């Protein structure tokens, strides 16, 4: 089955994909559409509806009223529907993976993996939610000085209301369900604003929730131009929580949003610190995996290698040998390196490369670009005065900075405005823990490349890399608030015995 056919035929109107509200697939009143450009062909691949602010208002009202009923739905029933959606999503992995290949140039095998992983995430969230939310807390007053045992306090977790979920282009299915599933199990409703590149994958994924039979109005998906509905959505008084994954836009959203919980996972400049005792073969494999998988378009990609001078030559040679084995080409062929998401993205990466060239970095390969396709490039002898030392390329270009001491590496890592993940390679576990403690990042991986996952691990950034924490349990906690009921008993003088 291909995208937009079979069970997915109802989400397509002519050659334009519909948006989803009130349990129905609809066309926008504006009659306008947004084109989605295939990064490989650089031609229009799909079109989606350009929703108006008026349509956003309607969706918000629907989400608000549907949420009230959903919050009263038994927890086991919510979990049952999530399990159903997970099964449907996995059953229809092929057409959704096809969208990922065409919209964001994700290699075919990785596209299938993303959909399957997303189904697993939904099921795990359903299980975890039943456990976390089914358990409250009981406190008694006489544990605090000056109090008799006259108050019993019961606490439980209640939903926040309407959750606005904004995932990024690079994992438009997985990072959407990582927001949707915790929100739903906790009793919230959802308004999804998918990224433009990745919108059609997102609409197919939402249809799987539709087929599972969730109540009308509970899950909504609006597409459109950020300039038209972006700020309107994030500043909407009907929104009770924003869960956003992406780049700098998140900083702007955080400043404009009202007094609501924010879950923001933004950019990273994940550092890889390599000590002289490291297993260099292991490091080289992880640098390739960390720096070049999905053409480096991952917030947790290795973005700078900080290697002790004495082993730098040997490491660079090993990485160069592995870079030479990477296949470059279209995502349909399962190439290791595929086109980056857009022309503007490719131009930005090129700007960083030219700056490094001008300032004397050593090019380990020839810089090569065709359209949005950039060949993998390792830059040695990068210095702190080069932009690539600090800026996030989000492409297959990796800088190597040679250091004389570990302290120098930690200092470079901590001088960054980002703090998402980092990694350290050494055989000395004591050193590894000390360096991990000293690195100002949300997660440090020891002897492995940075990665978001498994999906139930906590995942958070500090500084410009975000606020709030993700991971299944963290997200459920983030999308609920504590409700307390206090039972006041008569004073002990009235009690029996």
- The residues carrying an active-site annotation are 265
Q: How large is the angle between the packed helices 75-91 and 174-185, nearest 10 degrees?
A: 160
* Pair 456, 473: CB distance under 8 Å: yes
Instruction: Name the token pair of 227.
Output: 């300039």
Cβ-in-10-Å burial (0-12, 13-18, 19+) of 485 comes to exposed
* Pair 449, 285: CB distance under 8 Å: no
Residue with tokens 């509905």: 229
* Residue burial 168-187, b: 16+ Cβ < 10 Å; e: rest: bbbbbbbbbbbbbbbbbbbb
Tally of CA atoms within 13 A in the half-sphere of 293 that contains its CB? 18
Beta-carbon neighbour count of residue 27 at 10 Å?
15
Q: Which residues contact 390 (CB under 8 A, 6 or more apart)?
A: 269, 384, 416, 417
Residue 458 has phi, psi (to 5 degrees) of -60, 145
126, 308, 489 from 184: Cα distances, Å:
9, 48, 36
| Angle in degrees, CA 221, 226, 232, rounded to 5 | 75
* Pair 281, 295: CB distance under 8 Å: no
DSSP string, 48-106: EE---HHHHHHHHHHHHHHHHHHHTS-HHHHHHHHHHHHHHHHHTHHHHHHHHHHHH--
- Torsion 105-107-112-114 (CA) sign: negative
* Strand, helix or coil for residue 344: helix
* Pair 193, 92: CB distance under 8 Å: no
């Amino acid at each position: 089955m291909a995208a937009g056919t079979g069970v997915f035929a109802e989400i397509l109107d002519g050659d334009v994909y519909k948006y989803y509200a009130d349990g129905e697939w609809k066309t926008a009143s504006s009659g306008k559409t947004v084109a989605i450009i295939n990064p490989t062909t650089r031609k229009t691949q799909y079109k989606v509806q350009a929703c108006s602010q008026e349509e956003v208002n309607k969706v918000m009202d629907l989400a608000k009223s549907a949420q009230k009923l959903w919050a009263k739905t038994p927890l086991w029933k919510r979990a049952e529907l999530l399990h159903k959606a997970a099964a449907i999503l996995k059953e229809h992995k092929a057409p959704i993976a096809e969208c990922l290949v065409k919209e964001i140039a994700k290699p075919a095998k990785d596209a299938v993996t993303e959909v399957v992983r997303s189904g697993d995430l939904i099921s795990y969230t359903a299980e975890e939610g039943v456990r976390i939310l089914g358990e409250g807390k009981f406190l008694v007053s006489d544990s605090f000085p000056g109090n008799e045992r006259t108050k019993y306090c019961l606490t439980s977790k209640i939903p926040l209301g309407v959750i606005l979920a904004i995932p990024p282009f690079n994992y438009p299915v997985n990072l959407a369900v990582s927001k949707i599933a915790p929100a739903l199990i906790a009793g919230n409703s959802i308004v999804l604003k998918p990224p433009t590149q990745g919108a059609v994958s997102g609409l197919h994924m939402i249809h799987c929730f539709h087929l599972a039979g969730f109540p009308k109005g509970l899950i909504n998906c609006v597409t459109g131009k950020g300039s038209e509905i972006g700020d309107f959505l994030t500043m909407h008084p009907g929104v009770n929580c924003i869960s956003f994954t992406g780049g700098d836009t998140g900083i702007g959203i955080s400043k404009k949003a009202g007094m609501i919980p924010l879950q923001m996972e933004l950019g990273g400049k994940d550092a890889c610190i390599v000590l002289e005792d490291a297993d260099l073969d292991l490091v080289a494999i992880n640098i390739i995996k960390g720096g070049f998988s999905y053409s480096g378009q991952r917030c947790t990609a290795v973005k700078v290698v900080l290697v002790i001078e004495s082993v730098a030559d040997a490491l660079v040679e090993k990485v160069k040998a592995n870079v030479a084995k990477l296949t470059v080409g279209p995502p349909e062929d399962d190439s290791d390196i595929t086109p980056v998401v857009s022309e503007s993205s490719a131009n930005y990466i090129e700007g960083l490369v030219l700056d490094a060239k001008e300032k004397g970095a050593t090019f380990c390969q020839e810089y090569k670009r065709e359209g949005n396709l950039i060949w993998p490039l390792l830059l040695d002898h990068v210095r702190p005065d080069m932009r690539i030392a600090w800026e996030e390329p989000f492409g297959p270009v990796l800088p190597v900075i040679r250091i004389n001491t570990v302290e120098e590496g930690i200092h470079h890592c901590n001088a960054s405005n980002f703090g998402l993940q980092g990694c350290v390679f050494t055989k000395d576990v004591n050193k590894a823990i000390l360096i991990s403690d000293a690195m100002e990042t949300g997660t440090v991986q020891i002897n492995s490349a940075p990665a978001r996952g498994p999906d139930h691990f906590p995942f958070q950034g500090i500084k410009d890399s975000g606020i709030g924490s993700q991971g299944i349990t963290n997200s459920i906690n983030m999308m609920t608030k504590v409700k307390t009921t206090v039972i006041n008993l008569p004073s002990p003088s009235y009690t029996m015995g």
